[in-house]
Amino acid sequence: MPTPPDAITRAIANFNRLRSPEAFAEFIGFDNNEIYIRFTGSFCRTCGMLDYFEDLIFELDDRSPISLAVVDFEAEDDVTFQVRYRLTYQKPSCAR
């Protein structure tokens, strides 16, 4: 399986450091411009589940050329969700 870009690895590690054990993210894989992350945990049920999935997006470093957008998610069971993100690479602002 291909390894994720470093920015994604760092974002997942930071997400897990801040939100575990309530929520834990794990890289599953990617295909073309989509990346798959599995989330497990007890989660705060009063919060929207989408909030957890979007929190990973905010963990990306502002200087990273990568951006993510949630495309879809599916519950595997009550405590596990698989999320599909669209992966986009942006040109650095100095490249014109």
* pLDDT tens digits, one per residue of 46-83: 667 789 999 999 998 777 888 899 999 999 998 899 99
- Listing DSSP states for 50-71 in one string gives HHHHHHHHHTS-TT-SEEEEEE
Extract the runs of DSSP E, i.e. beta strands, from the chain. 24-31, 34-40, 66-77, 80-89
Residue 87 pLDDT greater than 60, yes or no: yes
Task: Give the CA count within 13 Å in the CB-facing half-sphere of 23.
Answer: 24
- Using DSSP, state whether 11 is helix, strand or coil: helix
Do residues 60 and 67 make contact, with C-beta atoms less than 8 angstroms apart? yes
Give domain limits for the chain.
6-89
> Quick one: pLDDT at residue 18?
94
What is the residue-averaged pLDDT of the chain?
A: 87
**What is the chain's alpha carbon radius of gyration, rounded to the nearest angstrom?**
13
Is CATH 3.30.1360 the classification given to domain 6-89?
Answer: yes
What pTM was estimated for this model as a whole? 0.85
